[in-house]
Structure 1
């Protein structure tokens, strides 16, 4: 085998290792989210929607459904559960001339409960990141953003059919 063939083979193996590591990460984060949700009595999909509201601010139910990749009818049930359990509020949208329009807002006063549960993971991540230089952290963050964009694109392709 030529050195060029060996180099190509080695690159394919490294790329496969990255993909496997991402699959492992996906599984571990799903397990963490499930455990997290169990602690605060949130279904996975409910937690995902609450996280989107917490990070992106108030959204209309339609915008939240689109962002979460859910059908509006499914979103209604999720929002009903989140509101019943005190995680969100539905408010009239002051920027919309249609008086029936609402926005959904996460109740920030409940964030302390969420932060407490994620404290262990945040501590682990702080310790992990301490081992990298600023340049390496920028590279890792860029890779993760680009991976997220690739996942979004693949998701959109599957949704389109």
Structure 2
């Protein structure tokens, strides 16, 4: 076992810090890519984030989307208005709900082709990168990224006081 005070401990800290730095760089780069994609289809950053959540987890209620996105429901109303006006989503009344105002938000999947086209160059690059890894390595990487997402969720909840 390697002690924190010996050379192995320093090397591990250096490597751990390198991973953290690369994840920060990844965050910045993906944010830039998402901003470019959003600008190409006239979506604000927060609108794009919500549309992506709807596409990935929907259909869902506005309350569920607000919770998932970490947004105040009043803020979400404006976002949903913009997305609906632009044809990205529909709001459907929930017929069996006790509250007649209850709606479900759905993505208009026919619009996704526009997004796929914009993300195609990045997806192609990812396919090329992933081809260099074995299935076992890809499983390791996917597991690591899932754990990073979980850590991010936990940290976000702590900051929100949950």
TM over 0.5: yes
Instruction: Name 1:99's counterpart in structure 2.
Output: 100
Q: Does 1:70 align with 2:65?
A: no
Instruction: Name 2:130's counterpart in structure 1.
Output: 129
Deviation sequence 1:8-51 (CA, Å, 0-9, x none):
00000000000000000000000000001010000010000000
Counterpart-to-counterpart distance in 1, 2:104 and 2:86: 18
Q: Is the 8 A contact 2:4 2:10 kept in 1?
A: no
Deviation sequence 1:74-126 (CA, Å, 0-9, x none):
00000000001000000012452322200110000101001000000110000
Q: Does 1:23 align with 2:12?
A: no
Instruction: Name 1:54's counterpart in structure 2.
Output: 55
What is the aligned-residue RMSD (CA, Å)? 1.5
SS in 2 for 1:160: coil
SS in 2 for 1:150: helix
| Structure 1 residue ranges without an equivalent (≥5) | none
Over 2 Å off, 4+ runs: 94-99
Instruction: Name 1:13's counterpart in structure 2.
Output: 14
Instruction: Name 1:114's counterpart in structure 2.
Output: 115
Counterpart-to-counterpart distance in 1, 2:129 and 2:96: 43
**TM-score, length-normalised on structure 1?**
0.96
